[in-house]
Amino acid sequence: MKDFAGKIAVITGGGTGMGRELARQLVAEGCNVAMCDVSEAAMAETKRLCEVEKLPQGLRVTTHVADVSIEDHLKRFRDELAEQQTTDKIHLLFNNAGIGGGGSLFTNTREQWERTFNICWGGVYLGVRTFLPMLVKADEAHIINTASVNGFWASIGMNQAHTAYSSAKFAVKGFTEALINDLRLHAPHVKCSVVMPGHIGTSIVSNSRKVQSGDGSDRLNADEVALTRKRMVAAGVPDADKMSDEDIQATFAERARSFLEDAPTSAAQAARIILDGVKAERWRILVGEDAKRLDERVRATPEQAYDRAFYESFTQEVGWRLG
């Protein structure tokens, strides 16, 4: 697929971050977009940004509220798309939606763990299941599944568990690689790519908290404050056990701000790398220099990938401040 003009793209998680930037750049290239998200307001802003400059005649941008971990939501999204975009086929499927959280089998609840896993992995699986018939009906099509560097390196540091997200992203990577031959055998006109971003400037920290808690607030609840303080103590943060609840709130807010604003790669840059990778029909798309360096390091010394020295030398090299 050398260009996107006149095509129809589905984007999950289109309300913010890479999903929003994918929508904006696809629309700028003349592609119709149907996006879903749990936040109607966030999607409305994405649509507004897509329409800042008048859309070409006939180009459509539609928004659909859906939780990608719930199959009936995705089926409703598919049916609304077919009606509003007046089509029985799509050309691009970006399974982009994801959240963090549920890092530990010990300190997080089963509900938190499975919420993360079911969105990050289940949303990709159900997305492909739901939209595959519409992709097959197109003359050419491409499935783009967002994994992460945590799809080949299951860590964000020595002091914080990261099991739910990493497990999900490993599943996305393996699933997409297995799809290569499945598609080749049964629908050779449909291609697929796995996207593995490093640290991208998005609102995933704050958005994940909102989805996990279900209250839509930017503030931690009492249980989250206690867990955050416990993690900070374990990480050796000076006097973390003496910090007030408001100090903990401020620390979380700063982490969310820093993740968004201080990232080495912006969401817009990430979207451009992804779209260029699709045009080049690359099945493996690393996003960011940090992702490329981490990939090289893990491949070179896999047995040392979870040692403290590996993490410390890597974070020093690329400037990560996570974990």
The 8 Å CB, 24+ separation contacts for 255-261 are 255/205, 256/203, 256/205, 256/206, 256/209, 256/218, 258/321, 259/199, 259/201, 259/202, 259/204, 259/205, 259/322, 260/201, 260/202, 260/203, 260/205, 260/206, 261/201
> Who's near 301: CB < 8 A, 6+ residues apart?
310
Residue of 125, 165, 306, 311 marked catalytic? 165
Annotate 123-155 with b (16+ C-beta within 10 A) or e (fewer). bbbbbbebbbebbeebeebbbbbbbbbbbbbbb
Closest CA to 186 of 141, 144, 147: 141
Q: Would you tell me how many other CB atoms lie within 10 Å of the CB of residue 177?
A: 14
Number of other residues whose CB lies within 10 A of the CB of residue 202:
24
The answer to whether residue 165 is catalytic is yes
Compute the distance between CA of residue 52 and CA of residue 55 in angstroms, rounded to an integer.
8
**Which residues contact residue 293 at a Cβ distance below 8 angstroms, ignoring those fewer than 6 apart?**
314, 317, 318
DSSP for residue 54: P
* Rg for the chain, CA atoms, rounded: 20
Tokens of residue 127, six digits: 């997305």
Q: What secondary structure, in 3-state letters, does 246-311 show?
A: HHHHHHHHHHHHHHHHCCCEEHHHHHHHHHHHHHCCCCEEEECHHHHHHHHHHHHCHHHCCCHHHH
Q: Of 318, 316, 311, give the one whose Cα is nearest residue 162.
A: 311
Give the amino acid at 208: S
Instruction: Give catalytic residue positions.
Output: 165
